[in-house]
Structure 1
Amino acid sequence: MTQISATMASSSGSGGAHGDVEATIASPLPEQAAYPSPLMGWLTVAILFLLYILSLTDRNIMALMVGPIKKDLGLSDLQISLLQGPAFAILFCLCAIPLGMALDRFSRRVVLYLSVTVWSIAAASCGLAGSFAALAMARAGVGAGESGFGTGSYSVVGDSFPPHKVSLAMSVFIMGGVMGAGIVFLFGGPIVAAAMKAGPAVWPVFGLLQPWQQVFIMTGAPGIALAFLVFAFREPPRRRAISAGAGYGEAWAFMREYKPLYLATFVGFGLAYAATIGFQLWTPVYLARVHGWEPGRIGPVIGLAQIGAAAMIPLHGWTVDRLYRRGRRDAHLFWCLLTVLASAPFGIAAFLVSSPWTTVACYWCFMALILSTSSMGPATVQVVTPQYLRGRVSALYVLASGLIAMAGGPAFIGLVTDKLLGDEMKVGLSLVISVFCVLLPAALLFAFGRASMRRAHEAIA
């Protein structure tokens, strides 16, 4: 759902960006220079953590405004799911390829700055949309911007910590994104409720805006200024030079040697994310339709549940790092296999119980377990991929897992509800079906990839 220029510029002490890039390409850096100080590493994580919260806010605020948007634009559940999924995911995934090449060659901080700026402008532009097509185009812009942020952030965090510490660092970073999904509900719910109560308003320049349009602008615009935060940290240097003409052939060749591992990483984590996103975006809709909850209640309750679940992510990272240090080289896939299997009963029970509060409790248990996968996918890529290939392999990971997760997750629920069940009140049953059809196959892939992960680690150790 996502940096080198800073280090290049600061380490050279003189010369332009072009000279810095040439220096990085021409001169491999010694092993001890590969990782910054712990203080700088965690400062980097803290800044990216904050920006990840912002990105998930801009991505998910729409989940609290499904009803008003459907009414004003005359949309169906399937169209809403297309806006939440494919409209965002297509450019998110397609932009990952060229951005991955750029991240292995040029300044990652500049890529991050441009990414945050692009998605913030696009998120605010959602507030100016007056049709399905216009809103879809704006959502595509959000996806394009967030693609560069996710790919670049994975690369920077992975280069900032040694392998036995990267899972915890990646977990803390990813926690920011997951907390962003919670914060959008916690604070977004009251904001949406207040905007709905205030009604349409005339804004200077923009004219008459509906409440949901105002919310898009208010939550999207601040990112234009916050984008400058990426220049507050230095980039970790690369340890091995890359050739100026390097493309994706070298990355593909490496991944072909370990097909089960990368199938589990790209497709398995993509399916796990699809189930997670489906729950995040459609559980609020379920509570509104089936139990009659208003956004002012849904937001804080789901927000707190999401934040509480996100707080468990560093525990997953700590556990995997501990297993890894003890010699379990498939720790990432092993742990995710266990947590995915443990989460499934809670995901099923959440929509079969009669009490909405029991639904929320089951939702929290489900998310606390399934969110182990949110950081273990990027961490797996960093641990088993040679450092000089990480930008490109991370880009391919974002492309594959993002397309499956963001295009498939929300769209699957909308499609099943509209076309298979034919009743919007059965959205809970659609979520149950997603556990069997989307989540459990991910567990099988994690089991399938474990031996290959052990081989890959031995080869690059």
Structure 2
Amino acid sequence: MSAPVDGNEEGTEMPWPAPWRGWLLVLLLAATSLVSQFDRTVINLMVEPIKAEFGLNDTAFGALQGVAFGIFYVIACVPLGRMADNYSRKWLITTCLFFWSLFAMASGLARSYAELFLTRIGVAVGEASLTPAGLSMLSDQFPPARLGRPVSGFLMSAPVGQGLAFIAGGSLLTSLTGSHLIDEGLLAGFEPWQAAFLIVGAPGLLLVPLFLLSREPVRRGAGAKSPLPLAEVIAVVRGRWRALVPMFIGFSMVKLVIYSISIWSPALLQRTYGWNTAEVGLGFGLVLIIAGTSGVYCGGLFSDILAKRGHLDATLKVSASGFAVAGICGALAPLMNDSLTALGFFAGAIFFGNMPFSCAATALQLIVPNRTRGQVSALYVTFTTLVGLAIGPTTIGAITDFVFQDPSAIRYSMSLAIAVATPVMIIMIVLAMAPYRRFRSAAV
């Protein structure tokens, strides 16, 4: 049987680009993702000054992240994913990067709560383009058996960005307080939190020319030649529901656990072990950077190794096995008697819990036609973010408030939530393996 000529797999007639070009694209996408993580995370360090500036309560401030950013991010994700499948992905990211950087800087110019709310919506809508368009570009730049590590290189920028935002963002705000830049320099008249937004948003504009110089990858595989009508995209998703539905549910449990750890661990370290804000920022920030980054990379590395050995479901096997370890570490971490042991178990949970991220992104690209990859990736991001961000952290807070009725019991709420979510993920991914192998076999 002759090899397909559409360039969908290794060994086809259309040669794959030189690896160095692909890795330059990975580097550019990772740098852009790093900038986006700063834009969305640094505001978490500005709670008190922003509340004081506009006379807000906790609910109003929370809406800046939960509604202005979170809801509009997922609303924009699917339409932008369809644009990534129908138009130039390079130009989509370039345009969105330019505007979200301007909106990030404009957050520092807001003179009312309404203006700040609108700027955060602008940041969210722009950043929603990056994941679906970026993953689609990478799937056309690397052969399927070598796609795991490039995807990891792109996605590992997220924990790096979050960790650096905690560490560097806190240092930036501290250094701006009383700085000559604020008192009489270029940023005179701005509050430190406003100046921080202006500084954090600017690097994104420096990346715009680099995207303009990059190449749009040639689309490969089934459905690559022309855009698909929406009805056909829906048919593709319906035809693969036996794999996609359990995958979406399973990977949403991954986000539930990781979001729960990242949001509630600082409170746990303060309430249970008496850490101060600086200790939490440095200690937990370093864990996010080191464990999170290496976990994402190793997920892609291990899945590539298994794929080269003929495992069509390599991404799912690595995801389920890694997350089993993450669940054990995550459930035990809050119950430890001393803070360093707890942080060590959290490091294990974050390392193994981040392995499925690169695997999930890679897995989706390999079982759907080219012109549906952005849209399916957007559906994945939308569903898993809504479930992971809305249910996990909220459930832990509710268990603490209404079941244990004691803020210091946050350790038990976290342990219980992680212990329940982990087997759900493993069961769902195991259910997805057989149909996933069939779709991968058909793609090959």
Return the TM-score normalized by structure 1. Answer: 0.83
Query: Does the alignment pair 1:299 with 2:281?
Result: yes
Conserved? CA contact 2:319–2:356, under 8 Å:
yes
- Out of 272, 288, 308, the residue aligned to residue 290 of structure 2 is 308
Q: Is the 8 A contact 1:160 1:236 kept in 2?
A: yes
* Segment of structure 1 superposing worse, 438-447 or 358-367: 438-447
2:17 to 23, 32, 36: 36
Most deviating of 289-298 and 84-93: 289-298
Contact 1:164 1:325 in 2 (8 A): yes
- In structure 2, distance between residues paired with 1:324 and 1:59: 35
Paired position in structure 2 for 1:263: 245
CA apart distance, 1:82 = 4.4
Q: Report the Cα offset of residue 425 of structure 1.
A: 4.7
C-alpha distance in 2, partners of 1:114/1:285? Answer: 38
Q: What corresponds to 1:222 in structure 2?
A: 203
- More relative contact order, 1 or 2 (CA 8 Å, 6+ apart): 1
Q: 1:251 aligns with which of 233, 237, 241?
A: 233
> Which deviations, in whole Å up to 9, do the C-alpha atoms of 1:272-325 show, x marking residues without a partner?
123212322332343345444344332222222112111232222111111122
**Aligned 1:325-344 pairs, distance under 5 A:** 325-344=308-327
2:361 is aligned with 1:392: no
In structure 1, what is the Cα distance between the partners aligned to 2:100 and 2:439?
35
State the AA in 1 paired with 2:370: Q
Residues 1:317 and 1:220: Cα distance change in structure 2 (over 3 Å): same
Give how far 1:350 is off.
2.3
What pairs up with 1:125-144 in 2 under 5 angstroms? 125-129=106-110, 134-144=115-125
CA deviation after TM superposition for structure 1 residue 270, in Å: 2.4
What is the percent sequence identity of the aligned residues?
29
Matched position secondary structure for 2:336: coil
Counterpart of 1:271 in 2: which secondary structure?
helix
Q: CA deviation at 1:217?
A: 2.8
Q: Does 1:111 align with 2:92?
A: yes
- Residue 143 (structure 1) shift: 1.7
Contact kept, 8 Å, 1:85 with 1:410, in 2: the verdict is no
Which position in structure 2 is the counterpart of 1:187? 168
- Aligned residue runs from structure 1 range 8-47, under 5 A: 31-33=12-14, 35-47=16-28
Whether 1:61 and 2:42 are equivalent positions in the alignment is yes
Matches within 5 A, 1:38-437: 38-69=19-50, 81-129=62-110, 134-195=115-176, 209-239=190-220, 246-309=228-291, 310-417=293-400, 424-437=407-420
Contact kept in structure 1, 2:81 and 2:375, CA below 8 Å: yes
* 1:175 positional shift: 1.1
Q: What letter corresponds to residue 121 of structure 1 in structure 2?
A: L
Report how far residue 119 of structure 1 moved: 2.3
- 1:417-446 per-residue CA deviation (whole Å, 9 max, x = no partner) reads 566656555444443343145444222211
Alpha-carbon distance in 2 for matches of 1:283, 1:134 = 31
Query: How far apart, CA to CA, are the structure 1 residues paired with 2:396 and 2:189?
Result: 33
Structure 2 residue matching 1:187: 3-state secondary structure: helix
Deviation at 1:415, TM superposition (A): 5.0
Q: Which 10-residue stretch deviates more, 425-434 or 371-380?
A: 425-434
Structure-2 residue corresponding to 1:4: none
What's the RMSD between the two structures over aligned residues? Answer: 3.2
Deviates more, 1:178-187 or 1:434-443: 434-443
Match of 2:3 in 1: none
In the alignment, structure 1 segments of 5+ residues that lack a partner are 1-27
Cα deviation code 1:50-79 (max 9, x no counterpart): 111111122222333445555665666665
Give the aligned residue type for 2:242.
Answer: P
Alpha-carbon distance, 1:39 to partner = 0.9
Return the letter of the residue paired with 1:400: F
In the alignment, the residues of structure 2 paired with residue 375 and residue 125 of structure 1 have an alpha-carbon distance, to the nearest angstrom, of: 32
**1:379 positional shift:** 0.5
Name the CA distance, whole Å, in 1 between partners of 2:14 and 2:167.
42
Comparing 388-397 with 340-349, greater Cα deviation is found at 388-397
TM-score for the superposition, normalised by structure 2: 0.86
- 1:19 maps to none
1:199, 1:77 → 2: CA distance? 31
In structure 2, how many angstroms separate the alpha carbons of the residues matched to 1:39 and 1:367? 30
Tell me the distance in 2 between the aligned counterparts of 1:223 and 1:192. Answer: 19
CA offsets per residue over residues 126-172 of structure 1, 9 Å max, x none? 33456665544333322211110111111111111111000111111
Q: Which moved more, 1:165-174 or 1:237-246?
A: 237-246
The alignment of Structure 1 onto Structure 2 pairs a total of residues equal to 435
Deviation at 1:103, TM superposition (A): 1.4
Q: Which moved more, 1:249-258 or 1:404-413?
A: 404-413
Is the contact made by 2:68 and 2:121 (CA closer than 8 Å) also made in structure 1?
yes
1:457 aligns with 2:440: yes
Counterpart Cα distance in 2 of 1:243 and 1:179? 36
Cα distance in 1, alignment partners of residues 413 and 178 from structure 2: 31
